[in-house]
Amino acid sequence: MTTHACHGLFVTGTDTGIGKTHVAAMIARALVAQGKRVGVYKPAASGCTRDADGNLTSDDAVQLWEAAGRPGDLEHVCPQRFAAPLAPHLAARAEGRELDFDQLRWGLDYWRPRSDVVVVEGAGGLFSPLSDDRLNMDLALALGFPLVIVAPNRLGVLHAVLATVNAAAYYNLKHVRHELKIAAVVLNQPTADDGPADPSRQSNAAVLRQALRPFKVGQFVELPYGAESFPAPIDWIAPARGERAS
């Protein structure tokens, strides 16, 4: 099989429903605006909607595909789609199917020759399972792309970010230590500021900037609620190439 030099980012989250797809789509749009050929890949999705013909649609895949300017074929954005809102391999079993772990990896091959950079959206967080014995982290490691860690600006995020960053820096797989590069931590504001008072929202960014200093994190990005683009231009290409951001 021909391997094309193709760069990419693996977008993961500290939790589900915290704006991972939203941020992945923002990155895709920013890269398209720079004239890059952007591939988008969601290796597996659960909680998909079933139409009258029985076809499953991943809303995440559609959102990513639109953000990237509808490259290639939507079918290849997310080849493995399941209905139940469970971890993908469990959602598969709930409908009498099996998730194909190898396909999670080679599904990317469709995008390699037609993309300068591929934005991959994982399913859940680094420790979210993809099979009985494999995690999202194993897929991120296999794909070899640096991480973009999306986290919600709310109470509890300090632990969630530091746990994820530590896990990435010191991942122990079968007694071998691996280090997953971290292109960025994105502190997202997923809800409007009209809910119950959460004073941590005012301090989380500053505390995280300080706490992340010992780690090799390319960028720390803070997003206001409802942001559709990044407040300042961000170099996503350098980290996708495995370089430190300028």
CA distance 74 to 52: 19
Nearest to 149 by CA among 212, 206, 101: 212
Q: What is the smallest separation between the CB atom of 6 and Mg ion, expressed in angstroms?
A: 22
Q: Report the residue number, 15 or 60, with the smaller CB distance to Mg ion.
A: 60
Q: What is the smallest separation between the CB atom of 49 and Mg ion, expressed in angstroms?
A: 14
Q: Report the residue number, 226 or 233, with the smaller CB distance to Mg ion.
A: 226
Binding track over 213-232 against Mg ion, x by CB under 5 A: --------------------
State which of residues 20, 29, 76, 89 lies at the interface with Mg ion (CB under 5 A).
20
Part of the chain binding Mg ion (CB under 5 A), chosen from 12-20, 66-74, 146-154, 204-212: 12-20
Nearest to 151 by CA among 13, 25, 10, 26: 13
Q: Report the residue number, 24 or 168, with the smaller CB distance to Mg ion.
A: 24
CA distance 236 to 58: 25
Strand 117-121 versus strand 7-13 pairing type = parallel
Q: Report the residue number, 96 or 188, with the smaller CB distance to Mg ion.
A: 188
The residue with its CB nearest to Mg ion is 21
| Inter-CA distances, 67 with 24, 196, 214, 228, Å | 9, 32, 34, 11
What residues act catalytically? 42
Q: What is the smallest separation between the CB atom of 148 and Mg ion, expressed in angstroms?
A: 13
Tell me the H-state helices in 153-199.
157-169
Strand partners, 220: 185
Q: What's the number of CA atoms in the CB half-sphere (13 Å) around residue 100? A: 10
Residues 46-85 that bind Mg ion (CB under 5 A): 60
State which of residues 8, 15, 19, 21 lies at the interface with Mg ion (CB under 5 A).
21
List of residues 6+ apart from 47 with CB closer than 8 A: 82, 83, 84, 85, 91
Note whether 138 binds Mg ion by CB under 5 A: no
The residue written with tokens 């939203």 in the block is 22
- H/E element holding 53? none
Q: What's the number of CA atoms in the CB half-sphere (13 Å) around residue 136? A: 27
Residue ranges in contact with Mg ion by CB under 5 A: 20-21, 60
